[in-house]
Amino acid sequence: MAALGAYVWRQPYLLLGLTILFWSGNSIIGRAVRDDIPPLTLAALRWIGATAILLPFAVGPGRRDWPVLRDHWQIILVLGLSGVAAFNTLLYLGLGRTTASNALLIQASTPPFILLIAWMLEGQRTSVARLVGTALSMAGVMIVVTQGQVETLLHLRLNVGDIFVLIASVLWAVYTVLLPRRPDLHPLSFLCATFVVGVAVVTPLAAWELSHGARIVWTPMAIGAAFYVALFPSVIAYVFYTRGVSLVGGAVAGQFINAMPLVGALLAVLALGEPLAAYHLVGMATILLGIIWFTRTQ
């Protein structure tokens, strides 16, 4: 088992693929329980639960890393605000106010935002070949989201939920670009510190939401959703994503986000019994071609 874990830890594309699987499930769960758990409360439950799960494993490394955490609190705060607190809160708010098609299409803007912000903050330039790879992946996203019907794009309408998702996508791009700047810490120390930032920011917002009439309906689905969002898209996915970025860089890791609409559609096929259509297969091939093209070029 240890040998298998060590092998997986050295495979960035496997780690990033699992990350996208868990995050795609997060979007489906967030949309499914929007009437049972208010969005700010779901965000708070996610990070309180994730911190509770991670804390026992992070106490030892955190004690050893405390001087580094204290000296680099600014970057920890920025990463915690952008990639934990604000991103997920805005995503849940958006999922309650927009269609799945709009949300998936807008999240496809994240890889180009990563390239743009990396250029603005780090002076990183990208090649024409990599731009072609990005364009191919986004074209595959368009095929999946529009179900292969170009005229669907003409009927998309933006609303406040779309704006929330767009801002969340920009913030995730910022988080991805800044992630390599994190101090030299044990991964669990780093993630626990950023999760604590998320808890500190989101919990008062959830308390405000509940004090203004929002209520949780504790159905079995809601309980399962709270457990899922705390463990899989939070603790496990953030560990995997951080490791993936450290191995292949933020630009390559960001390309995998374009697979989320496809993975979400396939999860809907498996979990909800929705049919698998030809456009799914065409979109899958185009997205994968774009990701492979991007990762194989400089």
When comparing pLDDT for 41 and 126, which is higher? Answer: 41
Mean pLDDT throughout 195-209?
96
- The reply to whether 9 falls in a domain is no
Count how many residues are written for the chain.
Answer: 298
When comparing pLDDT for 79 and 135, which is higher? Answer: 79
Cβ-contact 118, 124 below 8 angstroms: yes
Comparing 16-25, 180-189, 201-210, 263-272, the range with the smallest average pLDDT is 263-272
CA distance between the termini of the chain? 35
Comparing 43-47, 148-152, 252-256, the range with the smallest average pLDDT is 148-152
Mean pLDDT throughout 78-85?
95
- The reply to whether 6 falls in a domain is no
Q: What is the pLDDT of residue 154?
A: 66
Torsion of CA 61, 206, 45, 83, to 10 degrees: -50
Mean pLDDT throughout 133-146?
75
Q: What is the pLDDT of residue 52?
A: 96
Mean pLDDT throughout 97-112?
72
d(CA 71, CA 23): 31
Find, among 84, 93, 87, 82, the residue nearest to 42 by Cα: 93
Q: What is the pLDDT of residue 267?
A: 76
d(CA 27, CA 163): 16
When comparing pLDDT for 132 and 152, which is higher? Answer: 132
Q: What is the pLDDT of residue 72?
A: 95
- The reply to whether 264 falls in a domain is yes
Q: What is the pLDDT of residue 102?
A: 65
**For residue 104, pLDDT beyond 80:** no
Comparing 64-78, 120-134, 141-155, the range with the smallest average pLDDT is 141-155
Query: In total, how many domains does the chain have?
Result: 1
d(CA 149, CA 138): 15
- The reply to whether 35 falls in a domain is yes
pTM summary value? 0.84
Find, among 163, 166, 185, 170, the residue nearest to 239 by Cα: 185
**For residue 284, pLDDT beyond 90:** no
- The reply to whether 2 falls in a domain is no
For 156-190, what is each residue's pLDDT tens digit?
666 788 889 889 989 998 998 999 899 989 999 99
When comparing pLDDT for 194 and 135, which is higher? Answer: 194
> What residue numbers bound the domain in which 137 lies?
15-296
Q: Annotate 129-144 with b (16+ C-beta within 10 A) or e (fewer).
A: ebeebbebbbbbbbbb
- The reply to whether 194 falls in a domain is yes
- The reply to whether 219 falls in a domain is yes
Q: What is the pLDDT of residue 281?
A: 76
**For residue 99, pLDDT beyond 90:** no
d(CA 51, CA 47): 6
Mean pLDDT throughout 22-47?
89
The mean pLDDT value of the chain amounts to: 85
Q: What is the pLDDT of residue 115?
A: 81
d(CA 135, CA 227): 36
- The reply to whether 3 falls in a domain is no
Find, among 210, 209, 213, 181, the residue nearest to 194 by Cα: 181
